[in-house]
């Protein structure tokens, strides 16, 4: 019997092993910064390691860094990628010890604060020229408590409506330019035997994305965000509530029981051609083109709903991550040189051409027609995905609260006012406006 009990204890403890992974750190980054002087003249060969979660892009980054290595003799950049889901723990542990990378991809906004507050990243104010970077995105790599910059954002995502041009042509419908046209379009698709919009409402993270796509213009995007952050308005604002109501009204144009549809199922709905439109992020592009290479893809911004605060359609966007320097790294001078290059148009263009994602650098050329259009759409009405950009600095996060709230609304257990109250009350536990 005793044997059995200890075996039980063994299983019971498994969860704790997970928690035990993060080692404690008591030293700060100060010593490390001074040790950077140990780096000798630029002629000495130096190998810089960079960690990443983009296992699918290793070859592409190697190609990009070949360009840098050619221009900077003696410098070798080693790009190492780790499993996305394990990356945060690996990086936190790696930066703690002596075998960490010189540079690393770090998560954006709330996702990087733990590393910053633990003193694991090098502040780069004044050390890196970020003038080519889209300034609004620098918040992704800024310390929330000290306001210092800790990284150079590399990729951005934007939200818009994707549609299947083949189905549009078959039904004789076109991109809508007014809200009435948008409603008429959905009615026409429905009458034509297709599902107007594919949405994976079972996966709550998808719902705030959908809310931004159909409702950002209604609540007013950037203006509302300014008021929210200043404390002159909050999520219970009537316009914000109305934008959540729009989400509920749209269920008419989805399959019955949309609450049971998983995100992956909704992608299949669209790529298999049973749904004509997919409200989603630019990160869908890769999946759509591999799963349905023959589908002709179109994108548009949902027109402004009636009584909208914004006078033009809005595209919500955010930075996906940044490049940052290990505060304990031994080659900080060389790392800073590389980071400066990562903030240039030269790198941005290489990134766009090789990795085929949206760069955080301004003024680049996109050759892919869909990417080009998405980039133009974003430029025409940029706004921030507030619940990700500003509301992930504490627990519960804004996107979790509104996602769960919208699920309750779809189930009929909550109305739009309830969702916004839940969101406001939840973030108010850690979010202080004006701070």
Asked if 41 interacts with another protein (CB under 8 A), we say no
22 binds another protein (CB under 8 A): yes
Q: Per-residue string for binding with another protein, 263-282, x by CB under 8 A?
A: --x--xx-------------
Which residues inside 316-345 make contact with another protein, applying CB under 8 A? none
CA angle centred on 283, ends 202 and 250, rounded to 5° = 45
C-alpha distance across the termini of the chain, in Å: 58
| Residue whose CB is less far from another protein, 41 or 99 | 99
Q: Which segments of 178-276 does DSSP mark as H helices, in order?
A: 179-191, 206-219, 221-230, 238-249, 263-271
Nearer to another protein, 260 or 286 (CB): 260
Single residue of 256, 311, 367, 434 touching another protein by CB under 8 A: 256
Using CB under 8 A as the binding rule, the residues of this chain from 90 to 129 that contact another protein are 92-93, 96, 109-111, 113-120
**Residue with smaller CB distance to another protein, 204 or 304:** 204
Distance, CA of 6 to CA of 141 (rounded, Å): 46
Cβ-based nearer residue to another protein, 11 or 435 = 11
Using only the alpha carbons of the chain, give its radius of gyration: 23
Nearest to 288 by CA among 273, 303, 310: 273
DSSP letter at 294 equals T
Which structure tokens are listed for 287? 């999946």
Distance, CA of 186 to CA of 413 (rounded, Å): 26
Q: Contact, 334 vs 45, CB < 8 A? A: no
By CB under 8 A, residue 229 contacts another protein: no
Question: Distance between CA atoms of 144 and 221, rounded to whole angstroms?
Answer: 22
**Residue 11 or residue 43: which is nearer to another protein going by CB?**
11
Q: Report if residue 30 touches another protein, rule: CB under 8 A.
A: no
- Which of 35, 89, 365, 380 is the binder for another protein (CB under 8 A)? 89
Torsion over CA of 133, 134, 140 and 146, rounded to 10 degrees? 70
Question: Which parts of 178-207 interact with another protein (CB under 8 A)?
Answer: 201-205
Q: How far is the CB of 167 from another protein (least distance, A)?
A: 17
Asked if 257 is part of the footprint of another protein (rule: CB under 8 A), the reply reads yes
CB 414, min distance to another protein, A:
8
Name residue, tokens 């809310």: 211
Site for another protein in 374-413 (CB under 8 A): 392-397, 400, 403-405, 407-408, 410-411, 413
Which position has the token pair 């934008």? Answer: 243
Q: Would you say 305 or 403 has its CB closer to another protein?
A: 403
Which is nearer to another protein, 337 or 387 (by Cβ)?
A: 387
Give the torsion through C-alpha atoms of 225, 229, 234, 237, to 10 deg: -30
């Amino acid at each position: 019997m005793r044997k059995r009990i200890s075996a039980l204890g063994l299983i019971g403890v498994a969860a704790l092993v997970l928690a035990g992974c993060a080692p404690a750190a008591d030293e700060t980054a100060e010593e490390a910064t001074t040790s950077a002087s140990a780096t000798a003249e630029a002629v000495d060969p130096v190998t810089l390691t960079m960690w990443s979660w983009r296992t699918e892009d290793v070859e592409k980054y190697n190609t990009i860094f070949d360009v840098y290595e050619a221009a900077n003799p003696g410098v070798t950049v080693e790009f190492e990628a780790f499993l996305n889901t394990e990356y945060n723990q690996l990086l936190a542990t790696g930066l703690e010890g002596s075998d960490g990378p010189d540079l690393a991809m770090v998560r954006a906004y709330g996702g990087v604060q733990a590393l910053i507050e633990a003193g694991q990243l090098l502040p780069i104010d004044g050390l890196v020229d970020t003038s080519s970077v889209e300034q609004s995105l620098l918040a992704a790599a800024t310390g929330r408590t000290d306001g210092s910059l800790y990284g150079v954002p590399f990729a951005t995502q934007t939200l818009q409506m994707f549609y299947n041009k083949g189905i549009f042509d078959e039904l004789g419908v076109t991109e809508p330019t007014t809200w009435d046209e948008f409603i008429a379009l959905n009615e026409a698709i429905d009458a034509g035997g297709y599902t107007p919009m594919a949405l994976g409402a079972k996966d709550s993270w998808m719902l705030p994305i959908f809310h931004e796509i159909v409702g950002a213009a209604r609540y007013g995007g950037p203006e509302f965000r300014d008021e929210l952050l200043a404390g002159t308005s909050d999520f219970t604002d009537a316009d914000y509530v109305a934008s959540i109501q729009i989400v509920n009204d749209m269920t008419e144009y989805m399959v019955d029981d949309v609450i049971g549809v998983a995100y992956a199922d909704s992608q299949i709905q669209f790529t298999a051609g049973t749904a004509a439109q997919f409200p989603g992020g630019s990160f869908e592009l890769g999946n759509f083109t591999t799963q349905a290479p023959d589908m002709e893809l179109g994108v548009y911004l949902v027109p402004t709903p009636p009584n909208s605060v914004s006078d033009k359609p809005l595209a919500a966007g955010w930075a996906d991550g940044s490049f940052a320097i290990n505060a304990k790294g031994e080659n900080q001078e060389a790392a800073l040189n590389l980071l400066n290059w990562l903030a240039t148009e030269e790198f941005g263009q290489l990134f766009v051409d090789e990795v085929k994602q949206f760069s955080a650098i301004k003024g680049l050329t996109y050759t892919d027609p869909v990417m080009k259009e998405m980039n133009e759409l974003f430029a025409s009405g940029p706004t921030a995905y507030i619940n990700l950009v500003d509301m992930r600095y504490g627990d519960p996060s804004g996107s979790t609260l509104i996602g769960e709230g919208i699920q309750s609304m779809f189930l009929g257990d909550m109305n739009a006012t309830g969702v916004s109250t839940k969101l406001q009350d939840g973030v108010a536990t850690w979010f202080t406006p004006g701070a």
